[in-house]
Amino acid sequence: MGKLTLYGIDGSPPVRSVILTLRALGLDFEYKVVNLQAGEQLKPEFLKLNPLHTVPVLDDDGFILYDSHAINSYLVGKFSKDDSLYPRDLQKRALVDQRLFYESGTVAPAGVEVMYTVLRQDNPEVPQAKIDALAEAYKNLNLFLKDSDFLAGDNLTIADFHVLAVLTGWVYFLEIEPSKYPRLAGWIQRMKRLPYYEEANGARLELILQLIKAKNFKIV
């Protein structure tokens, strides 16, 4: 196996989703932090890797890939001993893809809207409508878990990693109350029991969560 290098920053949910996948596959990799606040993603050497200047970026022995969804499906396809994390069966894969599209198109943007208000605009007042959009995403994720322990069926998949990385940051804006979202709350607890959860996601959340808490945001 060639050398794997991941470029990213811990505060990024897409980066953490890739780290979760790497740990689930038991892969060794070098982690190179890209300081987005300092503009390192705009330096010429990084733009040669990714002209879109985003993280994560994976370097697999010279093969460069960006976008966490593409990276995670690639990692499973190349390195997994089975296809459980991203099934080859078309119907099972389609279900995983649907969850991934919902995460990237709805769940992540809903939280980013709140995050942008609080951190980027330095505005502690979050409109109720933005919180409502996040609540709607929670409701639908809870529905996805109606008949299974994981988001795309009975097995853990990369869809779980993507949503987990996102939600564990968003919960500080809107709690996942077990009375309102019992299946989603139970899923979060199951995911936190993964042996690699804390190293891959939990501990890496701390800096971004400290920034959020310091803003003392309120809903208006």
Q: Which residues have C-beta within 8 Å of that of residue 134, sequence separation ≥ 6?
A: 110, 111, 114, 170, 173, 174
Residue carrying structure tokens 């060794």: 28
Selected catalytic residue, list 12, 17, 68, 73 = 12
Torsion angles phi and psi, residue 19, rounded to 5: -65, -40
Between CA 65 and CA 59 the distance in angstroms is 7
Between CA 203 and CA 16 the distance in angstroms is 10
Radius of gyration of the chain (CA): 17
Q: Would residue 12 show up in a list of annotated catalytic residues for this protein? A: yes
Q: Which residues have C-beta within 8 Å of that of residue 161, sequence separation ≥ 6?
A: 17, 20, 21, 24, 72
Between CA 82 and CA 85 the distance in angstroms is 8
- With beta carbons less than 8 A apart as the criterion, state whether 128 and 136 touch: no
DSSP state of 212: H
3-state secondary structure of 77: helix
Residues with catalytic annotation? 12
